[in-house]
Structures are given as structure tokens and as C-alpha cells.
Amino acid sequence: MAGGVINTGSHPKLLWPGVQEIWGQVYDAHPVEYTDLYEVTSSRKAYEQDVQVTGFGLAPVKGQGAPIEYDSELQGWVTTYAHVAYALGYIVTHEELEDNLYAEVSHRRARANAFSIAQTPENVGAFLYNNAFVGTFYTTPDGQPIISNAHVNATGGSFSNQLTPGADLSEVALEDMTIKIMKTVMDRGLKISVMPESLHIAPDEWYNANRILKSVLQNDTANNAINVLKATNALPKGIKMNHYFNSPNAWFVRTNVPAGMKFFWREKPKFQQDNDFSTKNALAATYMRFSVGITDPRGLFGSNGP
């Protein structure tokens, strides 16, 4: 990251007239996308914790005259969301501000700062997806990557939120994924109503995903058969492309499980300006705090194609 103080030597051309165009500080930004990846809420504490409490198992047969069998609840996995502070600013000397002939450069600095700040939660949010299949940077409380075929139940046994073997995005692979989601069970092995909601892809799969989900008939076949994914509205929230995904072969499906991927805002971005008395430098910076993670891996399913 470039550092230092912006002074008259940082861009000497701007001290002279005749510059026709000044470019590169600010570009058009993508719409906000991290909100498609997470359930976004606010926090008023230093950190947030989600605690799993298991339900009960199936009712056993009660013999005539025999006592009722009693089950117990169990505290399971605990997920901690520790808020992280992010900040970015710049310093400009008094002389640069006075001698710079192009006022729009100064005005754009605040916009450039806001541009970088806005992309920070986008990149942090996408980071978990970009590393969802490896446990190098983030693991769920059971010690597994976000997407794994060996997630551990608190009461024993395991479950999978990964399409195995991994497959590139296709009509067949997406059907297999939705079937896998609909067959999800809870920690005690009871069937629960888990349904797919949205498909999340990198830009590389944008056109492929639209062909798969929006064709009236089956995609890329001569069969005169309906596209069942479209006909059944299998993904009611549609396709969500994320420009910050860096793997063209990885794709994800978010489900209706309420405690899945979560994003907590502790402090929204705050832009502040001040002046240093001794140097006359102008200071400006933005500060924010937030955290991201996953509570219940049943909230996200994924596949990493070959």
C-alpha cells in the first residue's frame, strides 16, 4: 500500500496550467453485493456469539406399563463473531492544498477514500467464499472449512454441505445440489425443511447460469423437456453474481436456514477531517468495524469444479 504525505512533489504537473484531463482517482463502482452473501445485522457489543442447542431425537416405542424415556438438550457449537476495525485515510500538506491549481483533485480525494472503504466489506465478505473449501484462513467451530463433506454434529456423526465429487455449474449439477439440500437433516438426524434460495457465482459463470435457469426447455439438449429448475422456481431469489469471487469454478447455493452466513456491522463507516496545528497538514480518514462468518453450515452449500 502506498504511504506518506501528499505534497507538491506527489503530482507536480498539477501545479501548472494546461492539464486537459485528470483521471484514475475514481471509477464507477459496482452496486453493493456483500448483502447478497450474508444476513446483515447490527451489533452493540464487542463481539457476538451464536450458541447451538440441540433438539430431541425420535420418540421411541413405549411398552405397556413401561416408563416414558426422557431425552435431554445439549449445548453444541459456539460461533464467535469478533469485530475487526478497518480504517483508511490520507494526509495533504498545506502547501499542496494552496498550490494545486485543480480543485477537483482535492474534491475527488474524499470520493476515492469512500470508494476504497466501500470495497473493503465487499472483499472481506467475498474472502470467506473464495476460501470456503480450505481451512487455512477460516474454519467453522467444528474445525472444518465452510464447505465440507465432514462437518461434525454435536451429538455425533457428520453431515455434508459440499457437492461430492465437485462439479462445474451445469443443469445436472444444480439439480443434484438442490436435491442434496432438500434432504438435509438436523443434528439429531430429523428431517428439516431446508430449501435452496439463491445461486452465487463468479462473473465467469454469468451467461451459463442464465442459460441454465432461464431456458424454457432443457438447456443444451435436443430433448423437448421442460427446464424443471425454472418450472419449479427452484431458486426463488435467483442468480447473484459477485465481482469479488476469484475462482471461476466455484459456485454456491444459499438456503433458507436462518443462522447461516452472517455479517455484523459494529460501526458503519465514519469519515472525519482535521488539521495538524504544528505542520498545517490536512488529515482525513474513514473508520469502521464489522465481522463476518457462518453459524450453521446448512445455510450454504457449494461445489468446486475440477
Judge whether residue 133 has pLDDT over 90: yes
Judge whether residue 12 has pLDDT over 70: no
pLDDT class of 235 with cuts at 50, 70, 90? very high
**Structure confidence at residue 224 (pLDDT):** 66
pLDDT class of 18 with cuts at 50, 70, 90? very low
Question: What nine digits make up the cell of 19?
Answer: 492539464
Residues of the chain with pLDDT > 90: what percent?
Answer: 71
CA 73, chain centre distance (Å): 32
Mean pLDDT of 107-135: 92
**Structure confidence at residue 104 (pLDDT):** 58
Mean pLDDT of 29-45: 95
pLDDT class of 98 with cuts at 50, 70, 90? confident
**Structure confidence at residue 110 (pLDDT):** 81
Point out which residues pair with 89 in neighbouring strands: 285
Among 86-95, 128-137, 228-237, 241-250, the range scoring the smallest mean pLDDT is: 86-95
Element (H, E) at 98: helix 94-99
Contact 303, 247 (CB under 8 A): no
d(Cα 41, Cα 264) in Å, to the nearest integer? 5
d(Cα 245, Cα 204) in Å, to the nearest integer? 10
Residue 31: phi and psi, rounded to 5, are -60, 160
Mean pLDDT of 287-303: 97
CA 243, chain centre distance (Å): 11
Element (H, E) at 159: strand 158-159
**Structure confidence at residue 95 (pLDDT):** 80
